[in-house]
Amino acid sequence: MKNHINSIIIGACIVITAVLLSGAWVKSHLNDSNKTTIRVTGKADRNFTSDLIVWNGSFSKKSETLSDAYQLVKKDQDVVNAYLQQKGVKEDEIKFSSITIDKKFESIYNDKGYIVQTIFKGYELTQNVSIESKEVDKVEQISREVTELINQGVEFYSNEPSYFFTKLSDLKIELLKAATEDARKRAETITTNAGSGLSNLVKSYMGVFQITAQNSTEEYEYGGSYNTTSKAKTISITVTLEYELK
């Protein structure tokens, strides 16, 4: 009997404690804001075409002596430079990097698969060339045709171009304005149909800019994304507004 009474007392204490805690939460919550608010998110996006292209490639030569390899690479540099200018690239848009040197070795293995000797086979010198230009279509075409240099004895490796937009700052401001207006209109539509109205703006939250390829399935990233592999892109931003209700 005594144990039964103790169980009843403990149960009652638990119920009372729960009620008190619930009341404290409601009171605290009401003190945080004594006005009802509405939070809405607006979005804006724009399609644009890149107006700046950055493209680079490399070429290399091998020789048993460093001086011979250097002369061969310098000869290839002259051929590459002449080719690009012939294609219409301005001289000041062509940038050649410093030459990198790689010593080449050949390993000799025994019948058990262990290295028993290493033979020096000479030098391989590599040089990179890059172009940064606003003539996007022209450089894009060159990047596809540059393998023509192989016919001139140049072992050329071409990378995919990267595409950028020089007026991105202005576009971002335009999108922020549009996304904010969209959020405001959404809030007005909701409150009007609910028989209420908007009062003061309490808070605003700006999302990150996402730049993706047009008509692609690229996923948005938490910190924002910036596609550089596509010439045609889409930029988007979200803005969240929180208003007090009248």
Least confident segment among 19-23, 157-161, 230-234: 19-23
Residues 159/92, Cβ–Cβ less than 8 Å:
no
- The per-residue pLDDT for 223 is 81
What does the pLDDT look like over 26-41, one tens digit per residue?
222 333 456 799 999 9
- The per-residue pLDDT for 33 is 52
Contacts of 28 (CB under 8 A, 6+ apart): none
| Mean pLDDT within 6-24 | 36
Report how far residue 185's alpha carbon sits from residue 172's, in angstroms, rounded to the nearest whole number.
Answer: 20
Q: Under CATH, which architecture does the 54-161 domain have?
A: 2-Layer Sandwich (3.30)
- The percent of residues in the chain predicted with pLDDT above 70, rounded, is 86
33-49+167-245 has which fold?
Translation Initiation Factor IF3 (3.30.110)
Report how far residue 51's alpha carbon sits from residue 163's, in angstroms, rounded to the nearest whole number.
Answer: 8
State whether residue 155 is helix, strand or coil.
coil
**Closest C-alpha among 57, 60, 72, 71 to residue 100:** 60
- The per-residue pLDDT for 221 is 80
Residues 154/61, Cβ–Cβ less than 8 Å:
no
- The percent of residues in the chain predicted with pLDDT above 90, rounded, is 74
What does the pLDDT look like over 146-172, one tens digit per residue?
989 999 999 999 999 999 999 999 999
**20: confidence class by pLDDT, cuts 50, 70, 90:** very low
Q: Is the pTM of this model over 0.85?
A: no
- The per-residue pLDDT for 13 is 40
Report how far residue 211's alpha carbon sits from residue 195's, in angstroms, rounded to the nearest whole number.
Answer: 38
- The per-residue pLDDT for 34 is 61
**H or E, element range at 140:** helix 136-145
CA 21, 23, 26 angle in degrees (round to 5)?
A: 110
- The per-residue pLDDT for 15 is 37
- The per-residue pLDDT for 16 is 36
| Mean pLDDT within 107-126 | 91
Token output for 103: 């010593």
Residues 43/179, Cβ–Cβ less than 8 Å:
yes
